[in-house]
Chain A
């Protein structure tokens, strides 16, 4: 009896040891899921699709996002309430937290990993912190007219320890060079179009592109040739057509770029746009189920997965990039908020808010591989982001 018990516990222990691996643990298959209403994170691993830990006390996480330290050990989480929280994924706990503004929207980590920048709505601007200590290093108020601060969106890192971002209220793109962290040098590009709502940088760090809510088209800045200024691309797509109401702003992050084409969400149209990246012309408009929010390329580039704004947020559609048409519609459930591919693209993690679930799908068969309970999940962030420009 006793021996049997011992053997059982030994086996149990072996089982745990096997799942977790003996000795020190690496972080390459880790990630975090934001539980938006509860101010908590689930620490996950993607080898066995399991939850390793739950970390609470991160404040208001509606619209939260995260970046990772270059060694993939720490996550920096940006909360709506202006909180910047540093989480140690090995120790599975919060190791630093500052509430740095009243209302923030996102952040980025510098090329060398030493600086974390946060973009704020109120007071509008960007604050830059020491990634190690979370001490404030630089403050860049987005003052576009005397005493007037703009909400800041679309903050990304760019090569050369620069940060690029857009001013929603002012219609400007700013490039802040933090080579000397305490003395940021800011280049401003004015009149780029009305109400930029988000921005991305191409994975090579060359182009910064801001989506415009209040104007047709997008604003493009070539960071290799900044002297050429910002130019408007796709200025007239869908001109003369009535725009549909937008119940949630699209996100540009994760844009698929395949075979010289970019796939991006149209605004006010239920379409995914395919854009030739040499001429910056729309080559195809793919009709979709609703207003696209995330248009994310599967890492192999063969497929692009799309989720949608209210009232179509129960769907995901998959586009085949070979013939640029929709080949699959999935219906995970109401409130599909985010999707994140594993780095080699075999599986994709999907948050389904209203079901309080995370679904993990096989990207070839579309079969659901795992179902994980989560409380009002939103963003899903996997550590390989640590090594990609703009993430």
Chain B
């Protein structure tokens, strides 16, 4: 169990390493935190408890893999109010967000 939680702690780190330079940048991480809170928050709630969009708590996101969530973030859900964030996020960044949402480290 401790091994697992250790793993979940370093996972974002591993992702960062595999993702390349942009996420190693503390300033960019800060920007993404702001993005989650305020810009995703305008539909999902500042604390991600839900609004027009569903809540994005770890509990609710259990059924989804990080890859699925990252796909949703990047491409949006056509036909719904969830817009595609492609122009503003790299795949690695979307993955970092997805992971952070699943573990509850974001927002």
Instruction: Enumerate chain A interface residues (CB-CB to B < 8 A).
Output: 36-37, 60, 62-63, 80-81, 102-103, 105, 121-122, 151, 168, 195, 197, 213, 245-249, 310-311, 335, 353-354
Contacts and interface: CB of A to CB of B under 8 A. Distances in A.
Interface stretch (B7-15, B43-51, B62-70, B91-99): B43-51
Given A122-B50, A245-B83, A310 B39 contact: yes
Contacts of B58: none
B27 interface: no
Closest 6 CB pairs between A and B? A62-B46, A245-B83, A310-B39, A248-B42, A247-B83, A245-B84
A36 B83 contact: no
B24 interface: no
Contacts of A81: 49
A168 B83 contact: no
B83 A80 contact: no
Interface residues of B, number: 19
B46 A60 contact: yes
B46 A36 contact: yes
Given A37-B46, A80-B46, 16 more contacts: A36-B46, A60-B46, A63-B46, A80-B45, A102-B49, A103-B45, A103-B51, A121-B52, A195-B81, A246-B83, A247-B39, A247-B83, A249-B43, A249-B81, A310-B42, A353-B38
Nearest to B42: A248
B26 to A, nearest CB: 18
Given A122-B50, A335-B38, A62 B45 contact: yes
Contacts of B39: 247-248, 310
Nearest to A248: B42
22 contacts: A36-B46, A60-B46, A60-B47, A60-B49, A62-B47, A80-B51, A81-B49, A103-B49, A121-B51, A122-B50, A197-B52, A213-B81, A246-B83, A247-B83, A248-B39, A248-B42, A249-B42, A310-B39, A310-B42, A311-B87, A311-B88, A353-B38
Contacts of A197: 52, 81
A378 to B, nearest CB: 10
Main secondary structure on chain A at its contact with chain B?
A: loop
Contact of A63 (B34, B42, B81, B83): B42
A311 B42 CA distance: 13
Nearest to B55: A103
Contacts of A121: 50-52
Interface string B23-34: 000000000001
A247 B49 CA distance: 18
A335 B34 CA distance: 11
Of A36, A168, A245, most B-chain CB atoms within 10 Å: A245
Nearest to B88: A311
B76 interface: yes
A233 B86 CA distance: 33
Contacts of B45: 60, 62-63, 80, 103
Nearest to B84: A245
A214 to B, nearest CB: 8
A311 B50 CA distance: 21
A188 B102 CA distance: 40
Contacts of B84: 245
Contact of A105 (B49, B51, B76, B83): B51
